[in-house]
A and B are shown apart, each in its own frame.
Chain A
Amino acid sequence: MNQILLWTMLVLPLLLAALVVTRADSPILARLIAWAAFPAVLLALVPPFQIEVPWLLLDSRLGVDAMGRVFLGVTGALWLAAGWYANAYLANDARRHVFQFFFLLTMAGNLGVTVAQDGASFLTFFTLMSLAAYGLIVHDHRAASNRAGRVYLMMTIGGEMLLFMGLVMAFHETGTLVFSDLSTKLALSPLRDIVLGLLLAGFGVKLGVMPLHGWLPMAHPAAPTPASAVLSGAMIKTGLLGCLRVLPLGMIALPTWSDTCLFLGLLTCLLAALIGMTQRNPKAVLAYSSVSQMGLVTVCLGAALVKPQAWPVIGSALMVWVVHHGVAKAALFFGVGIAGTRMPTTAARYLITAGLVLAALSLAGLPGTMGFAAKTALKYSTANLESWNDMLAWLLPLTSVTTTLLVSRYLWLVWPGRHAGHGRLSPGMVIPWGGLSMTVVAGFFVMRWQTLVNPAWTTLAPSDLWIAAWPILIAVALAGTVILVARTLPTNLTAMLAAFRIPEGDLVIPLIATIYRLRRRGYRVTAVQLPQRSRRLQHALEETVVPRLVQWLDRMTRSLENDLTAGLLLVLLAVAMLLISMT
């Protein structure tokens, strides 16, 4: 039964994608597509199991495990919500079926990744997801979207190559692709550090860890809102899942990679928040916020590599993060589309504003939301990290401040009623958004009940409340001050400040320019200069060398064409015959 559910989950989106190609305009199909991720949600509820599928790819293993289940549940729920939302959001889009096609393929890949238990099937689903998402990013065909798509594709292919190399080496070292074996055996391999470096870098591209984050802030604003929501909420987390699958977590400490993860994670978290605050597109702000939050996730990973004995705690902390960030970020992205519509009544506007603020503050760690649990979990995970202790003691609260500032920036940009809205507020959009916004709170109380989450993370002790609240208060005060000060500043100064902007994708922009310059030069050399040179060589051969050769042969043969040569040959022949007859 569970197996049938598993196969349905994997095949259904692919089947629907095939149907979209043939009968694009069927309303029944549109409704089915909205439900395509439903089997995934069901599968997340069944007890863990694994099946062997030797005929699929390179001896595949598929199944649900304790960790994969959490990913599967969140991923399924977000795709389900996004499917509903997309139906309403793109109702008037003439190229809706194109979006649906890529949406379904990406979904199939993303859901597949969560149940893949071996390297080859993981890579296959991962690639399907990554490549199909390209179609979502460039959906509207604006120049900026196409550029974002190009950058995304370049980085994705680069990531794929790193993963390919990493997996090849991992297979060679361990003799298996089944993750449970692979990570254990990899811990003992002499090439461990290189292999893990390749794999971490490959997954880091998807996770958006600096300096591999460039595609994220470009792709999120480019994609239609429902696609950005799953991109940020579900897809970038497959990078994390990949890391969890291959790292020998809870077995050994890996000082090289733990330091790298901690350093890059903190850097990503702070820097991305700062760059994000300069953005003007709310989706770009959210994209940088995702980068920043994934920085914190990377810090957790780093912590697990410092003290393996703490892995059970850190592992469940990461699961809290996956749920929390997935839900909150998707709600915020959905909110961008909702806040931009015309509000029917003032009450509706207030309600929607309240929902947006709630999701935003959850990201900042407001007590009573899942964000609070995540933040406490982070604190528990990073306790006693030896040499990192002092730095984390003041950097982690700082990240809370920057996160709050960043979500304030988002709220400032989308605040309903600040701009003239356009489009109708349709229930198809409000219901998924409202559901996720409520889950931000409801999830917290669900976490309180169940045993997997450390109860300490969900108690609302007064001391914890204060620790969680003060960074938010500081940030709100700061944001208020900035707004007040900005009002009093002379206009030319604000204009000057406004001119100072960091483009979406920051470092990747000059990098891409360089690549294109190199490509043009490559073109000049290989397509213009080399053929020219080879033509010249050919010419030289045909004009000089070959005629001279022919002349020389000609002269040689002509010198033989006389009676003397013929006579000599005859004599030679006679002598030879004489010699033969004598022996």
Chain B
Amino acid sequence: MTFQQWLPLLVVASSLIPGSIIFVLGEQQIKLRTALNLAGAVVKVLLVAIMLWGVSLDQEYQVRYGLVEGLDFALHADALSLLFVSLAAVLWLLTTIYAIGYLEDSPHRRRFFGFFSLCVTATTGLALAGNLLTFLIFYEMLTLTTYPLVIHRGTPDSLRAGRLYLLFALTGGAILLLAVVWLQTLVGPVEFSATGILSETDPALYGSLRVIFAMLIAGFGVKAALVPLHGWLPQAMVAPAPVSALLHAVAVVKAGAFGIVRIVYDVYGAEFCGQLGVTIPLALVAALTILYGSMRALYQDDLKRRLAFSTVSQVSYIMLGTAIAGPLATTGGIVHLVHQGVMKITLFFAAGNLAETLGVKKVDQMRGSGRRMPVTMAAFTVAALGMIGIPPTAGFVSKWYLGIGAAQADQWWVIGVLVASSVLNAIYFLPLIYAAWFASPPDAWPDERPRGRFETSPALLFPPLITAVLTLLLGVFAGFPFSPLEWAKLIVLQEYAP
């Protein structure tokens, strides 16, 4: 095997191996575990960087074995998978640092970090999957590895949330499996390829293809939290903050969204989707989700729950961009895959810091938190402004491309949806920012635990700071080479190649 074949495997293995070893280690071998975790995360970032460089120079990274006759296990690095895998690698590194600080001195850390690494393995795997079958394998693996993380605390609440999550995710998975099998029987093995593989299909099959499309969207929609399949997500926020952060930014929710992107562009093909007439219904569902999520977020007084509903809304920007189709909207949707991740992880990190350091979990307890924890709340503020889509944050770039993409595709109503969503985002984020900075702090915080000489321990402080700075940089330097925006444009060039 050549290096080109090894590299995708190594990227997956860089979290699989540490994860597996952690299970073997003792609970108390903290130093070794931490070292393994961080080493794995750093190696993954480096490997992805090499791959990124290679792909930009038109290198091919691919590995493939036959499982059984006609079914291949294939990992392949194309521009789209690299976008997702870079996001996952960078945010995994930050979240690992954060989790080490967050879980200091709590029980069952071996289990936690073990599954945490496996969860990232699944995410990288599905990012690099070269065909639908491989994607499905990792997708199911993701469901199973995140379950222990959701119920990590073991409280009745988290057990209930975990059950709900399994119920939704497994049902979705089953539908997905059915759809994949059906599709394979119709057209043979489904390889991902830019511009899709179905456009040559016999028109007699169009009916079945539409049904399969609906099933695929439903299957992925469960994880992507499309209304009405979003029910598990707000419940799952009982998980520890680093889990929620990764869950909402990269792993689970994004896996669903990424799946939908793959289906629309690399299986069906954007133009063929338009021909089948399935894009408008998808756009409508996404728009509904955007508005519904924001409406529900308005009146949540639990901070993480509010953020969870905000995720429901924001992730659907990706689907909206995907469904509108047309190069500009696609750029907006794909770039939001990264932007939403960076912004949302900042918000969850900040929420975790508030809960861990001050015991602040409710929205109305946030008064004056900016004076007690200025760095955390500054990060929160930047990310929240990004969610609203205020320039020059990353969120603005996404919103802008979705907006001009909608105009390009003559879907003017979408601009209205974007504006309505921005206003709703402003209504539920600005009061938090106001409370944090302009209201006076209470006499005593609900449960204050000072950590070190900074406002909280460095491991909790730096990850949100870094992602907040990224939120700004991704917006301000959107036109820089290798920025997600430029990369998304590259992907779009391939997807819409003649």
Contact = CB atoms under 8 A, between A and B. Distances in A.
Contacts of A464: none
A138 interface: yes
A522 interface: yes
Contacts of B312: none
A161 B404 contact: no
Interface residues of A, number: 32
Contacts of B295: 526
Interface string B385-396: 100011110001
Interface in A87-126: 120, 123-124
Contacts of B149: none
A149 to B, nearest CB: 8
Interface stretch (B72-80, B103-111, B247-255, B472-480): B472-480
Contact of A523 (B299, B374, B415, B422): B299
A153 B427 CA distance: 10
B422 A164 contact: yes
Interface in A55-95: 55-60
A161 B479 contact: no
Contacts of B182: none
Contacts of B481: 55
A138 B440 CA distance: 13
A171 B430 contact: no
Contact of B478 (A57, A131, A146, A169): A57
Given A57-B475, A161-B419, A168-B415, A153 B430 contact: yes
Given A124-B392, A127-B390, A527-B299, A157 B479 contact: no
Given A168-B407, A523-B299, A59 B438 contact: no
Contacts of B400: 58, 120, 164, 168
B404 A168 contact: yes
B392 A57 contact: yes
A161 B422 contact: yes
A172 interface: yes
Given A127-B390, A141-B438, A169-B407, A57 B423 contact: no
B355 interface: no
Contacts of A138: 438
Contact of B403 (A55, A60, A164): A164
Contacts of B153: none
A54 interface: yes
Contacts of A54: 479
Given A55-B477, A141-B438, A161-B423, A123 B391 contact: yes
A438 interface: no
Contacts of B403: 164-165, 168
A159 to B, nearest CB: 12
B426 interface: yes
Contacts of B391: 57, 120, 123-124, 127
Nearest to B485: A58
B408 interface: yes
A172 B479 CA distance: 19
Contacts of B336: none
A55 B404 contact: no
Given A141-B438, A164-B419, A57 B476 contact: yes
A169 B404 CA distance: 7
B163 interface: no
Contacts of A171: 404, 407
B423 A157 contact: yes
Contacts of A526: 295-296, 298-299
Interface string B412-429: 000100110011001000
A169 B416 CA distance: 12
B344 interface: no
Contacts of B83: none
B477 A172 contact: no
B152 interface: no
B399 interface: yes
Interface in B440-495: 475-481
A58 B328 CA distance: 13
A527 B430 CA distance: 19
A116 to B, nearest CB: 11
Nearest to B480: A55
Contacts of A57: 391-392, 475-476, 478-479
B484 to A, nearest CB: 14
Contacts of B422: 161, 164
B397 interface: yes
Count chain A CB atoms within 10 A of each CB in B391, B399, B419, B430 and give the residue with the most: B391
A56 B404 contact: no
B423 A522 contact: no
B261 to A, nearest CB: 23
Contacts of B426: 157
Interface string B367-388: 0000000100000000001000
A399 B59 CA distance: 72
Contacts of A169: 407, 415
A157 B418 CA distance: 14
Given A58-B397, A58-B478, A60-B479, 10 more contacts: A55-B480, A57-B479, A127-B391, A138-B438, A146-B438, A153-B430, A157-B430, A164-B400, A172-B407, A523-B299
Query: Which 6 A-B residue pairs are closest in the complex by CB-CB distance?
Result: A172-B407, A527-B299, A168-B403, A124-B391, A124-B392, A55-B479
14 contacts: A55-B481, A56-B476, A56-B479, A57-B475, A59-B479, A124-B391, A124-B392, A127-B391, A138-B438, A153-B430, A164-B403, A169-B407, A172-B407, A523-B298
Interface of B: 295-296, 298-299, 374, 385, 389-392, 396-397, 399-400, 403-404, 406-408, 415, 418-419, 422-423, 426, 430, 438, 475-481
